[in-house]
Structure 1
Amino acid sequence: MVEQSDSFLVEPIKRKTSSLLNRIFALFTRLCIVFLIILALLTCVDVIARTFFFYSFSGTYELSELFISVVVAGLIASSFFESHNIKIELFSKFSMFRSGINSLLEILLSLGALSIISWSFFSKVLESYEYGDTTSVLGLKTYPIWIIAALVSVILLFLVAISMVRLIWQHLCALPNEKLLAPMLMVGSIVVITLMYFFQAANIQTSPVFLVVGGFIAAYALILIQVPVGVALLVVGGFAIGGYLGLNQAFAITRNVVVGTATNLDLIAIPLFLLMGNFATVSGMSGQIYRAASSVLGSKKGGLAIASIVGCGGFGAICGSSIATTATFGKVAFSEMVERRYSSALAAGTIAAGGTLGALIPPSVVLIIYSIIAEVSIQDSFQAALIPGLLALVLYCVAIFVTVRLRPELTPEPQVFNKKTALIDLINAWRPVVLFSLVIGGLYGGVFTTQEAGSVGAVLSLVFFIFSPSFSAKTFWESLQDTARNSAAIYLIYIGASVFAALMSFAGAADLILEYVNPAETSNLIILISLVVIYLVIGTVFDTVAAVLVTAPVVLPLILGMGYDLVWWGVVTLSLVEVGMITPPLGINVFVMKSVVGDRIKMTEIFKGVTPFLVADALRIILLVSFPAIALWLPSVM
């Protein structure tokens, strides 16, 4: 009787505790994004004053750089609480890869990674106070802001720790009911190998080959058992640096990476562009773009499919995400195409392929990250991606045109063109046109920087959303929450990849790669073809951000060694990874499309539908690799 009473009392307490933690975290993350919107508003005011009144507020840049640290500190912790970090779930369907042992290891490593990040903010407080750091223009003390960032990070760490302790207890209670032998052997082997690597890294005689190869093996082994990519890279990179150079050096490097990430104004463009995309989605811009394109192009054979490609390209330019573009247009366009007797395979394949335009046509979140890693101009990268992005869109339209000519039964007879309807739909699509023109025009025209472009886009899309019929408090808060989740996941993987890249730098990875793959002795064409194949394979498994960050430490020295332009290679890399997202048998966009349409179509049909677009992609990659001027001409003239 007593046991029943205890159980009766404990379960509601657990539920109330969980609910309270969820509400606290939701409040913190939403406040972070609200604060980001306020900073974006201030940036917009500065842009307007500078552009129209030739007046700039002193110290705006450095204040934004400082206050953004509070936003980043709050965002990063939210990804741990909600377990929304980027993982590679290639083997998740196998029971040994999703056992309680794996979950326990993930929780412990994640808690350790967040502790290190929180310590970095706290350490920055002590450093800024000790040295009396001030802003260069306004002369303000910096440590009060760092105190706020550190407090936010530490409070959220405490809440995450409470949540994770509960999870650890739940997993420990469930372990006796699991078949433990296989997962224990697998996880135990990986842990032992990783520990041996760390101990060997502490040996002063450790060879660069061991550090580089062993580092990648240890990191990929942890990623394989579904430890979040950012956590795996941070743990392996940090501990290996600690063994190789000493713990003090490891902590100093990690702190510098965390602080540098938290104050990087180029990186803050990522949550701003994600916010712009979320507000554009919930305000109905995707539907307006699709209706305008279908009204104009629907009178052609295969016109709705072409309209879907154009719509994906237009919305992708606002959204900046392949997966989000695919998911959104899967809901908007698939049903309408099937109802008009389009082949379901062609309809699904068109949207899955069109979604890849989301990351390629600027502004692109992935290109921002690549540009920072490669230390090239973000504006140059955006300019370089525009023509290849438009080329991809045109080749996709050509692929549809050829497909429906060869197999006319895939599409119905074209509808009669209605000039009045087309004109009305085009007028109704004025919001996305204004948004895209202002953001891209201002960015390409040199009116504002990448961060300012993100601020203008986020504020303008918010205004459009507020005055749209779909506006509600619920959708507004959900948009903030979604932006916080995705931004936090990207920030964590960027921090982990930066620490891991530091390890590769200390180990001499660049010299090692050039020693074993000597461009002077090996044909550049063979190296490029090998990289093309590798990236196509990686793109089928890895998230786009993860694919770029994980491979950058190895590939960029090789590209520089061959004398190629890093801006051009960024466009090629992004193109390859995006093609991988629709390549059988594991294209991520295809799985996203399948999740949207459910049982209405089989997976094999979607892969069949993307085949014509893979042919178009192959032609585009050949052109990009053979003629770098396709990407480099526009930056050269601007």
Structure 2
Amino acid sequence: MIAGAILIFMLVLLVLGMPVGFAMGVAGMIGLYLEGGPGAIASILSNAPYRSAANFALSTVPMFIFMAEIVSRANIVQEVFVAARRWLGKIPGGLAIATVIASAGMGAMSGSSTAAAACMSSIAVPEMRRAGYNLEVATGVVTVAGTLAIMIPPSIPLVIYGLVTETSIGKLLIAGIVPGIMTALVYSAGILLWNKLRPGVMPAGQAYSYREKLASLKPLWAFLILGSVVIITLYTGIGTPTEAAAIGAFGAAVIALTTRRIDLKGLYNAALQTAKITTMIFTIIIGAMVVGYFFTLTQTAQNLIAFIGTLSIPHWFIIGLLVILYLILGCMMDQIAILLLTLPLTFPLVVSMGYDPIWFGVIVTKLAEVGLVTPPVGMNAYVVSATIRVPLEQVFKGTGVMLMFEFITLCLLLAFPIITTWIPSLMK
């Protein structure tokens, strides 16, 4: 009873506009006071904030963010888009597919969905508009394609999931590769189908010679090699995810500086922005740990599992309810906050039903993708709207068709868990 009241109180604080980390912390402290008195609060606050933030594995997060900030400032995504446009531009819908590929490439080098959406909206939308694309179509493609960055490794939500659930971060990051590529392929096939059903909605672009196509790949080799090294380090177990993140951040900085894509001032600004984002994430983590201790003290997860066990309903139905829950929360909250808030309750339940924790991590990350483009929060939609200065309503309207393709990939991942678990099962 107390746990339910505290959960509702926390949601009220979020609706009133309190920052997520503080809303979790305040609700958790009130719950601890009601359950164990002032001593419970003093005991938790004396060590929980430090223990939450001092986890060495968390150093993975700022390094991947730093890598994302460098790649974003080095304009590498523009060159990925140019290369994709030269190879696919003459196909009807080719510019839209090029945008999907460039967003996937940005994701493979940064893991930042908002960075991908911001970069691609300023690069791809003007190109698509010049080629005759409808504004809603152009912004919708950019908004949804940007979500690929949180599935294709490095993925910060998957890192957070691994830390909270004590699941192998390396396997989680590798598990995101096939679903990420599959999502990009479904988007591309969907764009071709969309253009076939509505001829002219995505006109064909300019054709380029093979020499021009090959020349467009030259600027990408350094970053492609860097991304490959990070993936190989994770897959082979040569290094830990933290070490892979360090290689990525250091390599991105060296490449960007030596190729003069970024100067020392740009590197400083990237580090400053990394500190700001990391502080926000760590605040949410600390708040989540406080409310998590309250749920542990009240045995909320155990009681939920016991209650579900008394019901004669199939497991797939419970998974369906969790999917709906995550979709609803995605319309209101940031994806990292959703993970930290829900996993202490949902993860034990899912594992108790015999589902693979790696598979569930990819599923909740996929559901977080949907939350990035659905109102009223829809962070990617806000970023695109602010970057190219178009009404938010137009951006949300353009995401509708692309979201249908997103749900196709979600259904495939739910129906065939082996898509997610096969490659991680081969790892040591």
TM-score by length of 1: 0.65
- 396, 413, 418: which is aligned to 1:624? 413
**Aligned partner letter, 1:446:** G
Q: CA deviation at 1:612?
A: 2.5
Are 1:542 and 2:333 an aligned pair? Answer: yes
- Following superposition of structure 1 onto structure 2, how do residues 445-594 of structure 1 map, counting pairs within 5 Å? 445-518=236-309, 521-584=312-375, 586-594=377-385
Does the Cα contact within 8 Å between 1:289 and 1:432 map onto a contact in 2?
Answer: no
Does the Cα contact within 8 Å between 1:297 and 1:303 map onto a contact in 2?
Answer: yes
User: How many angstroms apart in 1 are the aligned matches of 2:222 and 2:74?
Assistant: 10
Q: CA deviation at 1:584?
A: 4.7
Q: Secondary structure at the match of 2:328?
A: helix
Q: Secondary structure at the match of 2:196?
A: helix
- 420, 425, 428: which is aligned to 1:636? 425
Provide Cα deviations, 1:439-482, integer angstroms capped at 9, x if missing partner: 11211121111110111111111112212434334322221111
Q: CA deviation at 1:633?
A: 0.9
**Aligned partner letter, 2:6:** G
Distance 1:506 1:535, change over 3 A: same
Are 1:609 and 2:411 an aligned pair? Answer: no
Provide Cα deviations, 1:308-367, integer angstroms capped at 9, x if missing partner: 001001101221121121111111211111112222222111110111101111111111
Alignment partner, residue 103 of structure 2: 312
Q: Secondary structure at the match of 2:331?
A: helix
Q: Secondary structure at the match of 2:309?
A: coil
Q: Secondary structure at the match of 1:573?
A: helix
Provide Cα deviations, 1:526-572, integer angstroms capped at 9, x if missing partner: 21221111211211221111111111122122212322112111100
- 298, 322, 327: which is aligned to 2:118? 327
User: How many angstroms apart in 1 are the aligned matches of 2:175 and 2:261?
Assistant: 36
Does the Cα contact within 8 Å between 2:137 and 2:398 map onto a contact in 1?
Answer: yes
**Aligned partner letter, 1:572:** I
Q: CA deviation at 1:591?
A: 2.1
User: How many angstroms apart in 2 are the aligned matches of 1:566 and 1:472?
Assistant: 42
Q: Secondary structure at the match of 1:331?
A: helix
**Aligned partner letter, 1:626:** A
Does the Cα contact within 8 Å between 1:535 and 1:577 map onto a contact in 2?
Answer: yes
Structure 2 unaligned residues grouped into runs of 5+: none
User: How many angstroms apart in 2 are the aligned matches of 1:279 and 1:568?
Assistant: 31
- Following superposition of structure 1 onto structure 2, how do residues 362-381 of structure 1 map, counting pairs within 5 Å? 362-381=153-172
Alignment partner, residue 199 of structure 2: 408
User: How many angstroms apart in 2 are the aligned matches of 1:487 and 1:379?
Assistant: 20
Q: Which moved more, 1:515-524 or 1:226-235?
A: 515-524
Are 1:382 and 2:173 an aligned pair? Answer: yes
Provide Cα deviations, 1:230-279, integer angstroms capped at 9, x if missing partner: 11212221343244334344333334332223331211110000001111
- What is the number of equivalent residue pairs in this alignment? 427
Structure with larger Rg: 1
User: How many angstroms apart in 2 are the aligned matches of 1:327 and 1:458?
Assistant: 20
Does the Cα contact within 8 Å between 1:353 and 1:613 map onto a contact in 2?
Answer: yes
- 267, 280, 302: which is aligned to 2:58? 267
Provide Cα deviations, 1:192-231, integer angstroms capped at 9, x if missing partner: xxxxxxxxxxxxxxxxx22x11221222222221111111
Does the Cα contact within 8 Å between 2:174 and 2:231 map onto a contact in 1?
Answer: no
Q: Which moved more, 1:403-412 or 1:308-317?
A: 403-412
**Aligned partner letter, 1:284:** N
Which protein, 1 or 2, shows the higher relative CO under an 8 Å CA cutoff with sep ≥ 6?
A: 2
User: How many angstroms apart in 2 are the aligned matches of 1:433 and 1:219?
Assistant: 43
Does the Cα contact within 8 Å between 1:283 and 1:464 map onto a contact in 2?
Answer: no
Provide Cα deviations, 1:262-308, integer angstroms capped at 9, x if missing partner: 33121111000000111111112111211111111112221111010
**Aligned partner letter, 1:318:** M
Alignment partner, residue 598 of structure 1: 389
Does the Cα contact within 8 Å between 1:294 and 1:307 map onto a contact in 2?
Answer: yes
Q: CA deviation at 1:585?
A: 5.5
Q: Secondary structure at the match of 1:583?
A: coil
User: How many angstroms apart in 2 are the aligned matches of 1:465 and 1:452?
Assistant: 20
Provide Cα deviations, 1:463-505, integer angstroms capped at 9, x if missing partner: 1221243433432222111100000000110111111111101
Percent of residue pairs identical? 31
User: How many angstroms apart in 1 are the aligned matches of 2:319 and 2:299?
Assistant: 22
Does the Cα contact within 8 Å between 1:293 and 1:311 map onto a contact in 2?
Answer: yes
- Following superposition of structure 1 onto structure 2, how do residues 86-485 of structure 1 map, counting pairs within 5 Å? 209-210=1-2, 212-485=3-276
**Aligned partner letter, 2:226:** L
Q: CA deviation at 1:582?
A: 1.8
User: How many angstroms apart in 1 are the aligned matches of 2:265 and 2:118?
Assistant: 20
Q: CA deviation at 1:371?
A: 0.8
Structure 1 unaligned residues grouped into runs of 5+: 1-208
Does the Cα contact within 8 Å between 2:335 and 2:371 map onto a contact in 1?
Answer: no
**Aligned partner letter, 1:614:** L
Provide Cα deviations, 1:155-193, integer angstroms capped at 9, x if missing partner: xxxxxxxxxxxxxxxxxxxxxxxxxxxxxxxxxxxxxxx
User: How many angstroms apart in 1 are the aligned matches of 2:42 and 2:87?
Assistant: 58
Distance 1:316 1:622, change over 3 A: same
Q: Which moved more, 1:484-493 or 1:590-599?
A: 590-599
Provide Cα deviations, 1:598-629, integer angstroms capped at 9, x if missing partner: 13xx4343233222321111111111111111
**Aligned partner letter, 1:458:** A
User: How many angstroms apart in 1 are the aligned matches of 2:184 and 2:145?
Assistant: 8
User: How many angstroms apart in 2 are the aligned matches of 1:519 and 1:632?
Assistant: 30
User: How many angstroms apart in 2 are the aligned matches of 1:497 and 1:284?
Assistant: 35
Distance 1:336 1:259, change over 3 A: same
**Aligned partner letter, 1:636:** S
Does the Cα contact within 8 Å between 2:171 and 2:235 map onto a contact in 1?
Answer: no
Q: Which moved more, 1:533-542 or 1:394-403?
A: 533-542
Q: Secondary structure at the match of 2:389?
A: helix
TM-score by length of 2: 0.95
